[in-house]
A and B are shown apart, each in its own frame.
Chain A
Amino acid sequence: MATVKPRVKVPKSASAGEVITIKTLISHPMESGQRKDKEGNPIPRKIINKFTCEFNGQTVFSCDLDPAVSANPYLEFTAKVNEAGTFKFAWVDDDGSVYTHEQEIALK
């Protein structure tokens, strides 16, 4: 049923130089490739294998995920905000799909 849908939590504003916490959650089964279906056939691996966070075009944080990351991958990290701008988030699926989300932040 579930369409892959990212959720992101970023503060609406920050003071210049402030380090903020960003939380992300995306609905995804993270099929590990280790499981078998009812007939005993292996279920092919299908995971989110990469996540990136950019701010105004510059990389803030990224990660490479393996099948040991839980279903509906949750990532929490920080970012230093020096100016107002836009965060761009991208999740890359094994099947080549890229799920994206953008969020703006203002300076206090």
Chain B
Amino acid sequence: MTLTRRSMLTLSVGAAIGVAAGMRTGPAAASAEDAMAKVKEFAGGAEPATGTITLDAPEIAENGNTVPISVSVDSPMTDDDYVTSVAIYADGNPSPEVITFNFTPLSGEASATTRMRLAKTQNVIAVAKTSKGGVFMDKKEVKVTIGGCGG
């Protein structure tokens, strides 16, 4: 067998997949089940509906250390109808909790932005609870590129 350009390419792709698949082992990651258990706990038994809440996260994060995420929920934000809190979870981090935003009618809008850590490619989940008992969820997969040059 000769080392053709194609076989070399295959080899390097194989190596890259090996890396992505976790040759770089870190602390034990939370499973998708752990994250969903947290969602359930936060929702207090209610089944989260889709829509109403929008989670913005990059499709590809250049570095998992600082990933900007934004969440916003459609709500009148009045005294008798507002979003009380939005919790963010990540289903591939050492533990699923990321942050919980607590709103009041004085927030004006139910929207917030922060920057989070992602240990690897995984789903980020946002769940909102309203003062009227509504529960809404959105989910985005963020691919984290591993194998960049260190510093």
- Asked if A and B form a direct contact in the complex, defined as CB atoms under 8 angstroms apart, the reply is yes
List the interface of chain A (C-beta within 8 A of B): 19-20, 32, 34, 55, 58-71, 73-80
Alpha-carbon gap, A61 to B95, bound state (A): 25
> Which one, B7-15, B43-51, B100-108, is touching chain A?
B100-108
Alpha-carbon gap, A59 to B67, bound state (A): 28
Contact in complex: B114, A19 (CB < 8 Å): no
Counting CB contacts under 8 A, is B66 at the interface?
A: yes
Alpha-carbon gap, A35 to B115, bound state (A): 19
Residues of B within 8 Å of A65, CB to CB, are 99
Contact of B107 (CB < 8 Å), options: A60, A71, A75 = A60
Contact in complex: A80, B106 (CB < 8 Å): yes
Residues of B within 8 Å of A74, CB to CB, are 113-115
Alpha-carbon gap, A11 to B33, bound state (A): 43
Question: Which B residue sits closest to A63, measured CB to CB?
Answer: B101
Given A68-B116, A69-B114, A70-B66, does the pair A19, B99 have CB atoms closer than 8 Å? Answer: no
Residues of B within 8 Å of A62, CB to CB, are 101-102
Contact in complex: B106, A69 (CB < 8 Å): no
Chief secondary structure at chain A's binding surface: strand
Contact of B95 (CB < 8 Å), options: A66, A71, A75 = A66
**How many Å from the CB of A108 to the closest CB on chain B?**
16
Contact in complex: A76, B114 (CB < 8 Å): yes
Residues of B within 8 Å of A75, CB to CB, are 112-114
Counting CB contacts under 8 A, is B134 at the interface?
A: no
Contact in complex: B99, A68 (CB < 8 Å): yes
**How many Å from the CB of A81 to the closest CB on chain B?**
8
17 contacts between A and B (CB under 8 A): A32-B94, A55-B106, A59-B104, A61-B101, A61-B112, A63-B100, A63-B101, A68-B90, A68-B99, A68-B118, A69-B115, A69-B117, A73-B115, A74-B115, A76-B112, A77-B113, A80-B77
Contact in complex: B99, A78 (CB < 8 Å): no
Counting CB contacts under 8 A, is B121 at the interface?
A: no
Question: Which A residue sits closest to B88, measured CB to CB?
Answer: A68
Residues of A within 8 Å of B107, CB to CB, are 60-61, 77-80
Counting CB contacts under 8 A, is B27 at the interface?
A: yes
Contact in complex: B117, A61 (CB < 8 Å): no
Contact in complex: B115, A60 (CB < 8 Å): no
**How many Å from the CB of B121 to the closest CB on chain A?**
15
Counting CB contacts under 8 A, is B54 at the interface?
A: no
Alpha-carbon gap, A62 to B101, bound state (A): 6
Over the window 18-59 of chain B, the binary record of Cβ atoms lying under 8 Å from chain A Cβ atoms (1 yes, 0 no) is 000000001100000000000000000000000000000000
